[in-house]
């Protein structure tokens, strides 16, 4: 198998790529990078040489000599490179931009604020206790989800954009998983919840679930 996905079971960015690879019907090997054990394997060689940003995921294609980081760049590359499975972005330019915008609402404006290194920094440099961290996360996830919930009122069908799965759903489902982990009241977001439930009925999403990964603990 030439495609290797370096990631962590509970990382939402890794989870996005797993869903995308499953929807593209790609064969791949999971290479676990433990984000907490021994101070975090993402900070240690050999992984830090693959990805100097010391974040997961990283896609490696040994046959084609490719090392790629950033989940959205990886997903778009795979979508363009492989015709298998379903297309993850719409044909129409404006529709494609709208799908990307929702993906960025999550990947650029929510996830970075609730990332492990930010929570660790808050603790180490600002004395934020473990029990205060979920509240911080709920604040930033809530601000993002309120806007997304409103936007979805004009775009949603079974999925974020009508009845076609897209990069937007691939980003939404892992962020919902992460929100639940931090105790966000998903009852406040009925459309987001409905879309996540619809996605999670699909085999490609189920196989990507954190608890179904080899490194889940």
Ligand X SMILES: N[C@@H](CCC(=O)N[C@@H](CS)C(=O)NCC(=O)O)C(=O)O
Applying CB under 6 A, the residues found at the interface with ligand X are 11-13, 35, 40, 42, 55-57, 70-72, 107, 115-117
109 vs 139, beta carbon nearer ligand X: 109
User: Min. distance of Cβ 188 from ligand X in angstroms?
Assistant: 23
Nearest to ligand X by Cβ — which residue?
117
CB 215 within 8 A of CB 30: yes
The least distance separating ligand X from the CB of residue 54, rounded to whole angstroms, comes to 6
Contact 171, 103 (CB under 8 A): yes
Cβ contact 48:6 at 8 Å: no
Pick the closer one to ligand X by CB: 55 or 78: 55
Least Å from the CB of residue 190 to ligand X? 26
Q: Which is nearer to ligand X, 57 or 198 (CB)?
A: 57
Segment 130-133 long-range contacts (CB within 8 Å, at least 24 positions apart): 133/182
**Measured from the CB of residue 48, what is the shortest distance to ligand X in angstroms?**
11
Q: Smallest distance from the beta carbon of 37 to ligand X, in angstroms?
A: 12
Alpha-carbon gap, residue 151 to 85, rounded angstroms? 28
**What long-range pairs does 75-81 form, CB within 8 A, spacing at least 24?**
75/16, 75/17, 75/20, 75/167, 75/170, 76/167, 78/20, 78/21, 78/24, 78/26, 79/20, 79/24
Kindly tell me which of 87 and 116 has the beta carbon lying closer to ligand X. 116
Unique residue bearing structure tokens 């931090």: 182
Evaluate whether 168 touches 125 at the Cβ level (below 8 Å): no
| Closer of 40 and 144 to ligand X (Cβ) | 40
């Amino acid at each position: 198998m030439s495609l290797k996905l370096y990631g962590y079971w509970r990382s939402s960015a890794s989870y996005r790529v797993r869903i995308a690879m499953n929807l593209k019907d790609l064969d791949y090997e999971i290479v676990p990078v433990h984000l907490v054990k021994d101070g975090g394997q993402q900070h240690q060689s050999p992984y830090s040489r693959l990805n100097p940003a010391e974040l997961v995921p990283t896609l490696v294609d040994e046959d084609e000599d490719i090392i790629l980081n950033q989940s959205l760049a990886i997903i778009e590359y795979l979508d363009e490179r492989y015709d298998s499975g379903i297309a993850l972005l719409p044909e129409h330019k404006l529709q494609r931009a709208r799908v990307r915008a929702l993906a960025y609402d999550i990947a650029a404006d929510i996830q970075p604020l609730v990332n492990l290194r930010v929570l660790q920094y808050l603790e180490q440099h600002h004395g934020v206790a473990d029990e205060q961290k979920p509240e911080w996360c709920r604040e930033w996830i809530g601000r993002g989800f309120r806007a997304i919930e409103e936007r979805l009122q004009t775009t949603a069908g079974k999925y974020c954009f009508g009845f076609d799965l897209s990069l937007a759903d691939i980003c939404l489902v892992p962020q919902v998983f992460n929100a639940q982990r931090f105790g966000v009241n998903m009852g406040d977001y009925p459309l987001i919840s409905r879309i996540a439930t619809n996605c999670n009925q699909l085999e490609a999403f189920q196989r990507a679930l954190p608890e179904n990964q080899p490194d889940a603990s």
